[in-house]
Structure 1
Amino acid sequence: MLLTRPSRSDVLTAAAYWPVAAAVILPTYVAQFGWARAGAGMLYTVLLDSAAVFALVFGLLPNLLTPRYRGRALGLVVVFLLASGLLYGGGYALVLNTPLHWSPMALVKNIIRHAFSYGMLAVLLTGKRYFDVQQRLTLLQKVQAESELRNLRAQLDPHFLFNNLNVLRGLIRQDPAEAEEYLTHFAALYRFLIRHKDDDFVSLAEELRFADEYVYLLRHRFGAAYAFRQPLLPPGGLARQLVVPGTLQLLLENAIKHNAGDEDDPLVVTIEATAGTLTVRHPRRPKLTPVDSTGTGLANLRERYQLLTGQAIRVESTGSEFVVTVPVLAALTPAAAC
């Protein structure tokens, strides 16, 4: 059988309930039985109702909600109801010095009367327990989401490092001076990733500066085979709009990885930013040799946006064009945050 231990706050809630309840119940007892018997009756009410509620909320209900113990708990419900009726009828007759009449109908009435007596406290503690469980679930979901985000970030960084070290190795052999310049830009990019590795969001302005550096590396690797176009962005406000860090790096890399470029007819990759979205679009030109890909990068990006914003990224793939649109969030101003 399951026995849920009441927390300190549960006990304090019950303790806070009784002064309010006594202010309502005690005058009725005094009017009928006088102060001496009324005091004894009130004390018995507190003890009997508290015991019934704690047995119900922390004993019977958890077992009734657990399939493994439900059958046994149903039997205990019968015992609980019988004990409730007997203690209510017999106890008050003894404490208040009133006549005691036993019959099956009287027992049923006592069970019902006692349920009305402890019902308010039972509802209060049951509601509190539900609220506590919801809080724990919310905290658990938050911890789980943070853990998932850490895992997703860990998968992105090695992918970025591996690809660029391969490029750098080739440049060192061909042109050491160019390799040094490439390394300078690569180091700046990796500083960005390290600086924001624990950040959920960066400003759109920072993300676009990161993209400019990344495009520099791509141009030095592929020459004019790929062209990058960035239409005139809306003036101002970029620092107050937020995206997940590394979004553009992943989308640009994805475009290069899966599509063939040609210096005579370059693949044009367009970056478009609005007040509410950031979009990367390009024509579909699948490479002749299929790329070995698990699809992890785009899937990770999708999960990060879902976890952090509750919004989905939009992927549109037609026969001629591939478009990915991610949500852009508005940063809270100090006044709004207050």
Structure 2
Amino acid sequence: MKTKTTFFKENAVFLAFLFFFCWIFLLKNQFGNSDSWKDFTFYPDAPFWYFFKAAFIFWWISFIKNRINKSSKKQTSISKRYVLFFGIGLLTYLIIGNSFGLIISLIFDTYSRNFGSLYHIVYVNINSVIDFIIFGGFSLAYLYYKENVEYQKQVAAYEISKAKNEITQLKNQLNPHFLFNNLNSLDQLIEEDSERASVFLNRFSELYRYSLHSADKELVLLEEELFFAEGYFKLMEEKYRGYYQLQIDEALYSKDILVPPFCLQVLIENAITHNKGTLDKPIKIVITEANGIKVINTKLLYASKRKGNGVALANLSKQFEILTGTACKIRETEEEFEVTLPFITTTKPTV
């Protein structure tokens, strides 16, 4: 009983369509058989009986489809499967209809009237075939639509799951990268200045606590990421005093925008790693908004190319490509290096 109730609830809209069609179909036939309003006679109960037949055809085809799909292990094309559903459905519908009619005729002693004439038998079965073609066709079209929608949902779910797995892998690469680079910086400071190393370690512990908090998040608020980026830059200032300058557009703090964790930190780190700032010519890093979140830094490259954040920057661009379908835009001139992060349309962070 529960299964039948669920079936009718799930397909209520389609059943309502069948009921409406039965009324229209019978009205059309009745008008066609009448020469004037005097000849026109419409029986209000007729569409209900016609609807019961249509609903049974729909249920019967659904039953056959589910049975064949469960029992068949062989993969066949959609068109072949639906032709099979229709063929078996039509054949069994005719058998059921004739068997039911025969039983009723024997019970009420009307066999000679219903089955005594070959013409009458052919006429009844042709009507049954036409009914099945009409309502069976509607039913198969609707079932195909439902199956296609379900398939699209599965594909979408698979793509989302795949994208999330890729993002997780990329984040897992960035987090150890952040830890490794800063432990190297701490090691250098310990040798140069133990007091500065202690301040560096305290700042680093606070930042790493944030990184652990954000590790399971796919997206964070831009405001949180800006505070983290500021904290990271202050950490770097303990090592490079006055060699680098950071300027953040204040309007960004009030923007309701989401970004992947560490995205701005990666770009700041990239600017520091690849450019040799000095007190006379500090490297200026600017974070602003212009068709996305734009991070620009002046250039003063080292004489020899340094190993650095190439992998981290590539991973970051891949994250945005997965999340938005658009990779980060990178522009480089003799004086500047610019990265624009595309906006993400999600309305709230994913925890």
Supply the distance in 2 between the matched residues of 1:55 and 1:298 (Cα, whole angstroms): 55
The answer as to whether partners of 2:61 and 2:85 remain within 8 angstroms in 1 is no
1:230 to 220, 234, 247: 247
Is 1:302 aligned to residue 302 of structure 2?
A: no
Supply the distance in 2 between the matched residues of 1:75 and 1:332 (Cα, whole angstroms): 45
Residues 187 and 178 from structure 1, CA distance in 2 versus in 1: closer, same or farther, beyond 3 angstroms?
A: same
Q: Give the Å deviation of 1:138.
A: 2.7
State the identity %: 25
Q: Give the Å deviation of 1:164.
A: 0.7
Supply the distance in 2 between the matched residues of 1:216 and 1:113 (Cα, whole angstroms): 78
- Amino acid in the other structure paired with 1:169: D
The answer as to whether partners of 2:86 and 2:136 remain within 8 angstroms in 1 is no
Residues 53 and 191 from structure 1, CA distance in 2 versus in 1: closer, same or farther, beyond 3 angstroms?
A: closer
1:83 to 82, 86, 91: 91
Q: Which runs of 5+ in 1 are unaligned?
A: 1-5, 334-338
Residues 107 and 322 from structure 1, CA distance in 2 versus in 1: closer, same or farther, beyond 3 angstroms?
A: farther
C-alpha distance after superposition, 1:305-332 (max 9, x if no partner): 2334455421112344321011356896
Residue in 1 aligned with 2:270?
254
Supply the distance in 2 between the matched residues of 1:275 and 1:330 (Cα, whole angstroms): 16
Residues 310 and 88 from structure 1, CA distance in 2 versus in 1: closer, same or farther, beyond 3 angstroms?
A: same
**Paired residues for 1:156-171 under 5 Å:** 156-171=174-189
Q: Give the Å deviation of 1:200.
A: 3.5
Supply the distance in 1 between the matched residues of 2:80 and 2:344 (Cα, whole angstroms): 53
Supply the distance in 2 between the matched residues of 1:330 and 1:136 (Cα, whole angstroms): 22
Q: Give the Å deviation of 1:199.
A: 3.0
The answer as to whether partners of 2:200 and 2:235 remain within 8 angstroms in 1 is yes
Matched residue SS, 1:291: coil
The answer as to whether partners of 2:61 and 2:86 remain within 8 angstroms in 1 is no
Calculate the aligned-residue CA RMSD, in Å.
4.7
Q: Which runs of 5+ in 2 are unaligned?
A: 27-40, 106-113
Supply the distance in 1 between the matched residues of 2:141 and 2:79 (Cα, whole angstroms): 24
The answer as to whether partners of 2:258 and 2:347 remain within 8 angstroms in 1 is no
Supply the distance in 1 between the matched residues of 2:50 and 2:99 (Cα, whole angstroms): 9
Supply the distance in 1 between the matched residues of 2:138 and 2:77 (Cα, whole angstroms): 26
Q: Give the Å deviation of 1:161.
A: 0.3
Supply the distance in 1 between the matched residues of 2:154 and 2:4 (Cα, whole angstroms): 14
C-alpha distance after superposition, 1:76-100 (max 9, x if no partner): 5795487369648856875783654
Residues 109 and 303 from structure 1, CA distance in 2 versus in 1: closer, same or farther, beyond 3 angstroms?
A: farther
C-alpha distance after superposition, 1:121-153 (max 9, x if no partner): 223322222222222333333333332222222
Q: Give the Å deviation of 1:168.
A: 1.0
The answer as to whether partners of 1:202 and 1:243 remain within 8 angstroms in 2 is yes
1:180 to 198, 209, 214: 198
Q: Give the Å deviation of 1:175.
A: 2.0
The answer as to whether partners of 1:52 and 1:118 remain within 8 angstroms in 2 is yes
